[in-house]
Amino acid sequence: MESRPPDTQVAAPPFDQPSADIIVRSTDRVDFLVHRTILAQASPVFADMFTLPQQPRGSADTEPPVVEVSEDKETLRHLLLFCYPVKKPALTSFEDIVPVLSAAVKYDMGWLVDLLSAYLKPMMSARPLRVWAIACGARLEELAQEAAEQIKANRTVSKRFMQTMCRLVKEEGLDVLNNISGGEYFRLFEHWRCRGSFTLYPAVPPAPSSTYPFPVDNCVEFVPADPPPDILLRCTDNKVVKAHRLILLLHMAKVTLTGPPCEDPDSLPLSSIDMSSTQLVPLLRVCYRGELALPSGPEAIAGMLSDCRRLQMDGMLPMLARRWKETVEAAPFEAYFAAADRFDPCDAAAAARETIKHKLDGVYTPNMENASAAACHHLLEFYRDTYELALYRDEVSRKKLEDDVRRITDKLTLKQVWRRPLDEVSGYFGAA
């Protein structure tokens, strides 16, 4: 074969056969010479891919068509070995199984997903949390249910959820919760508490809420025509928004505007701004109309707060801080997960302080589905540790209380969570 790029290499047998009629190229530039008929039988995704028109090739080019995929050479080799009538690879570790399972889900290879799920089951008794997390990430509900049952079988003597989960998370590392939603973690907690079956999905799909950024409709209705706008702002999504230089100078003086000079003297100057129109328009609306134009809802306020801090729009921060405080008092759980979704520890801390006024058992908010499982884990851990600290009433335990406060605050990165007096938090806790 000819015309192979110099930075590629051919895979080891059996993926080097001259009879191959397609090349699958890994991310690390290894070419697997394979046969369409075999891959089409193994994966409907590959079957559909091969029906697409191929790029025309020159008459002197004898290389088969190339399909570039997002898997590395090791994952791709294992995946293809399962497809071919050859000796199957021995996958005995999570590090080997998980990438191949992810690829099998991606390429709709249900038969391989079932096989790899069977590989994971013997590991479940020793590492149930890891298997549960893998099953959730791959959307394998039956395997996730079995792993959830195994987590319950790992109960500690006290039979409290958080004591067991903290032990399992410590054994696996917090990254075990990566790519798992707070909603899934909540349903694991409810499965433990209520003894129902674990489910990957909420019983009722979350209704659409007021999210941030907002869709842009009639995006300049708040910009007055008199005096006429004197600048155009091109956003990162290529939408152009009219505005007044004076407004930008008053409220967004530290925002960098870039763009070529305007050549047409009759046209407004055009500058580029490093944000999308769905972020810019709500900010401009508040710049023009003031506090009455602030959005409502935890996600919207948290998003605008984040943008204002990033853009150093210091003049708007006090009114947003007031609105955030009102939002936290009205809906602390929604506010906590909205802030956690944006990795804002200060805003999350304010909401976490308010949540301790409420029972935690059974509390569900739809924006848990967008936040990480780690955020949910930290909130439950916060409840448990605060409850335990509130039990320290004698002076001998005061030093231990102070040490634990410092340790827990550093771990959660929720600054000033612990400013509330301990007497105030007594009696607010469920069986977390």
Q: What is the pLDDT of residues 109-153, one digit of tens each?
A: 999 999 999 999 999 999 999 999 999 999 999 999 999 999 988
Q: Would you call the peptide bond into 260 cis, given omega within 30 degrees of 0 as the criterion? A: no
pLDDT at 172: 93
Q: What Cα–Cα distance (Å) separates residue 432 from each residue in 58, 178, 309, 423, 428?
A: 67, 22, 34, 19, 11
Q: What Cα–Cα distance (Å) separates residue 127 from each residue in 92, 123, 172, 222, 228?
A: 14, 6, 8, 57, 66
**Mean pLDDT, residues 192-198 taken together:** 80
Residue pLDDT, tens place only, 383-393: 877 776 665 55
Share of the chain above pLDDT 90, in %: 41
Of the pLDDT bands very low, low, confident and very high (cuts 50, 70, 90), residue 71 is very high
**Mean pLDDT, residues 28-36 taken together:** 95
More confident of the two residues 160 and 374: 374
CA–CA distance, 162 with 101 (Å, rounded to integer): 29
The mean pLDDT of the chain is: 82
Burial track 172-185 (b if 16+ CB lie within 10 A, e otherwise): beeebbeebbbbbb
How far from each other are the two terminal CA atoms of the chain, in whole angstroms?
Answer: 64
Range scoring the smallest mean pLDDT among 256-270, 304-318, 330-344: 256-270
Residue 269, C-beta contacts closer than 8 angstroms, at least 6 positions apart: 230, 231, 232, 259, 261, 262
**Mean pLDDT, residues 333-346 taken together:** 84
pLDDT at 198: 86
Domain locations in the chain as residue ranges: 9-71, 316-425
pLDDT at 73: 96
pLDDT at 160: 81
Of the pLDDT bands very low, low, confident and very high (cuts 50, 70, 90), residue 421 is very low
**Mean pLDDT, residues 219-225 taken together:** 75
Q: Which contiguous run of DSSP H or E holds residue 408?
A: helix 398-412
Does residue 265 surpass a pLDDT of 60? no
How far is residue 326 CA from its own chain's centroid?
A: 27
CA–CA distance, 343 with 359 (Å, rounded to integer): 24
